[in-house]
Structure 1
Amino acid sequence: MSTWSLPRPMLAVPVADPALPPDWAAEPKWDGYRSLIGRWADGRVVVGSRTGGDLTAAFPDIAAAAVRRLPGDIVLDGELVVWENGRLAFERLQQRAHRTAVSAARAAQQWPAHFVAFDLLRQGDDDLTARPYRSRRKALERLFADRDLQPPWTLCPSTTDPREATGWLQWSAAGMEGLVFKRLDQRYVPNGRGWLKYRMRHTTEAVIGAVSCTTSAPVTALLGRFDSDGRLRYAGRTTVLSAPARRALAAGLRHAESGHPWTGRTFSVAWGSRERLTVRLVEPDVVVEVAVDVSLEPSGRWRHPVRLLRVRTDMAPTDVPLFGRPQ
């Protein structure tokens, strides 16, 4: 029996420029769960999370596919994704991540996962992490060809052509988040931040429905958009506001009168947290311009915190795009 274990994944640092640097390769940035999959020679399979957790029981479909199709003593790095209605559905991954046994099996049938492989770290007795990216990539491509790997296995695209990489940014409608850049001669450093990542962002508008802390000194803003029936729906929360933004909001916010659509609603401090955020409801008549990325949950909310850019005194709430639309 092999004694090796799954390493921690190599990480990336954010960059603001989507241009592919010379002597680097680009890959699409997927809206999923970063995962390492290991299959031992004795048949044992582990689906590991970015933080070292064990997701094997939550994704029995992927574990079973590893037993059927992968050779022994192998480690793949990649992304777990779920497709729904033609786009990546991160919310379905969240719903699957903490299930076990019968519940996990039902979820696998309802929302089958795919594994997008973008690196090969071990093959047989060979530890490939010391090899350059270009060498590991060739080995990964040979693995897919030799084993004729089909869904749920997907080979992540890779290119050194800047035009092709730029073209992948058009996939945002399917939930693609951006690009990851990897130097061709770079070794794989577990838990090291040697890659680069560019996340697509755009500016749009939203209405402020509440703020954390107080209206005179707001810390974050809770954003809403009206749906087609005229109901104010919660769309997301900003990062911590800058001092100028706090002053600008404090001058325009009005405490909510009775009948606010979010009356009685609670908001958590962070996703997955049971701690409740202290908020103050305000009249939904202040429009702000925000910078957001393309990760939109199936519920219609922005999945990541957004950055408030400025107050739009020239716009009315009815000018804001409807709930569930990125623009």
Structure 2
Amino acid sequence: MHLSPPIEPMLARSVTALPPAGARPALFEQKADGFRTLVFAGPKPFLQSRRGADLGPAFPELVAAAAALGVEAVLDAELVTVGADGLDFTALQERARRRGATARRAALERPAHLIVFDVLEMSGAVLLNEPLWRRRDALEDLFAGRRLTAPWALCPQTLDREVALGWLDPAWGTAGIEGIMIKDPGSRYRSGERGWMKLRTRLTTEGIIGAVTGAVAAPRSLLLGRLDAAGRLRLVARSTPLPRKAAAELGAALRSAGAEHPWWGRTFSAGWGVKEPLAFHPVAPDLVAEVEADTALDLGRHRHPVRYVRIRDDMTPGDVRA
């Protein structure tokens, strides 16, 4: 039996904390900021995205690496590009749009890498029902036996809870490690199921409240901005739904804005990667909010919704710069 694309990858559910010390053993892995990719290595190499698309045309150097691996295997990995300060998701997105000669040129100018964290098949043996620790042994044997180097990288893994806590330091987030994965070492690979856990690195930051969804007097969520070098208000984040108490407090403090607002007549998407426009009401950009966010940024904009914490009465909009 051989696995063939498309395969639904195993998924993870978000959690807000590590398992308590003394709980059942867990394996911790770094969560890199990239594209989830299933790599079918062998004579007919194929790079499958999380949703089943063929990533090969955009990343020809990785197709070549999969063809030259020297063994037929199906690997689960994160596809990344590296910039001057760490992993560069914006550059990865730009590369994903290229095809043909431009993709080949980009592969030379900014080659991509595969951070591998699981193996589903090796030399014709399907490993889906093997426990994770055995799959990890097989993966480490592959890297050692084939002496794999770039574009291959083995995902860091540990049983040490303190080491995992260190990976949540915002410095790792700045370098492109957006959190950690938490896995049961005895678990099998369950395609399409959320059998793993993920904990994102969180930090607090500020944003100018520039608009709301819902009514101004009873907002459902916030649109937050920062001032660029020219003093223009740039959208940087959208909040998660506001708790009832926060919505009431904000509704009493916010004021509707008209055509003088810098976002009047603008169109924003309803979510990252979504074309549907978002219905919103501009408000006077007078208030600064403290929010909790993860470290995933796209050209300075938070890719995931942020969580409202409180109003920063001690700050003015002029203090909040991009």
TM-score by length of 1: 0.89
1:30 to 29, 32, 39: 32
State yes or no: 1:144 paired with 2:146.
no
Shift of 1:309: 2.3
Distance (whole Å) between structure 2 residues aligned to residue 264 and residue 110 of structure 1: 39
Shift of 1:187: 1.4
Distance (whole Å) between structure 2 residues aligned to residue 257 and residue 308 of structure 1: 24
Higher mean C-alpha displacement, 71-80 vs 210-219: 210-219
Q: CA RMSD in A?
A: 2.1
Higher mean C-alpha displacement, 199-208 vs 260-269: 260-269
**Residue in structure 1 matched with residue 178 of structure 2 by the alignment:** 177
Is the alpha carbon distance of 1:185 and 1:66 closer, same or farther for their aligned partners in structure 2, counting shifts above 3 Å?
Answer: same
State yes or no: 1:4 paired with 2:3.
yes
Please give the per-residue CA displacement for 1:87-123, whole angstroms capped at 9, x wherever unaligned. Answer: 2222222223343323432433343211000011111
**Residue in structure 2 matched with residue 312 of structure 1 by the alignment:** 312
**Residue in structure 2 matched with residue 194 of structure 1 by the alignment:** 195
State yes or no: 1:303 paired with 2:300.
no
Is the alpha carbon distance of 1:216 and 1:268 closer, same or farther for their aligned partners in structure 2, counting shifts above 3 Å?
Answer: same
- Asked if the contact 2:34/2:92 (under 8 Å) is kept, the reply is yes
State yes or no: 1:242 paired with 2:243.
yes
Is the alpha carbon distance of 1:194 and 1:313 closer, same or farther for their aligned partners in structure 2, counting shifts above 3 Å?
Answer: same
**Residue in structure 1 matched with residue 18 of structure 2 by the alignment:** 18
Distance (whole Å) between structure 2 residues aligned to residue 111 and residue 301 of structure 1: 23
> SS of 1:137's equivalent?
helix
The residue type equivalent to 1:183 in the other structure is: D
Is the alpha carbon distance of 1:176 and 1:3 closer, same or farther for their aligned partners in structure 2, counting shifts above 3 Å?
Answer: closer
**Residue in structure 2 matched with residue 79 of structure 1 by the alignment:** 78
Spell out the pairing of 1:231-310 with structure 2 (5 A cutoff): 231-256=232-257, 258-297=259-298, 299-310=299-310
Shift of 1:208: 0.7
Is the alpha carbon distance of 1:279 and 1:107 closer, same or farther for their aligned partners in structure 2, counting shifts above 3 Å?
Answer: farther
Residue correspondences, number: 317
- Asked if the contact 1:206/1:223 (under 8 Å) is kept, the reply is yes
- Asked if the contact 2:223/2:239 (under 8 Å) is kept, the reply is yes
Distance (whole Å) between structure 2 residues aligned to residue 258 and residue 126 of structure 1: 64
| Percent of pairs with identical residues | 46
Distance (whole Å) between structure 2 residues aligned to residue 277 and residue 192 of structure 1: 30
The residue type equivalent to 2:151 in the other structure is: P
Is the alpha carbon distance of 1:239 and 1:56 closer, same or farther for their aligned partners in structure 2, counting shifts above 3 Å?
Answer: same
The residue type equivalent to 1:102 in the other structure is: A
Spell out the pairing of 1:67-216 with structure 2 (5 A cutoff): 67-68=67-68, 70-170=69-169, 171-216=172-217
**Residue in structure 2 matched with residue 45 of structure 1 by the alignment:** 45
Please give the per-residue CA displacement for 1:152-179, whole angstroms capped at 9, x wherever unaligned. Answer: 1101111112222222223122021111
Unaligned runs of 5+ in 1: none
Distance (whole Å) between structure 1 residues aligned to residue 316 and residue 273 of structure 2: 34
Spell out the pairing of 1:44-63 with structure 2 (5 A cutoff): 44-63=44-63
The residue type equivalent to 1:198 in the other structure is: L
- Asked if the contact 1:175/1:296 (under 8 Å) is kept, the reply is no
Shift of 1:82: 1.2
Please give the per-residue CA displacement for 1:44-82, whole angstroms capped at 9, x wherever unaligned. Answer: 1110111222212122121112112x1342100010011
> SS of 1:102's equivalent?
helix
Higher mean C-alpha displacement, 137-146 vs 232-241: 232-241
The residue type equivalent to 1:276 in the other structure is: P
The residue type equivalent to 1:91 in the other structure is: T
TM-score by length of 2: 0.90
Higher mean C-alpha displacement, 110-119 vs 86-95: 86-95
The residue type equivalent to 2:228 in the other structure is: D
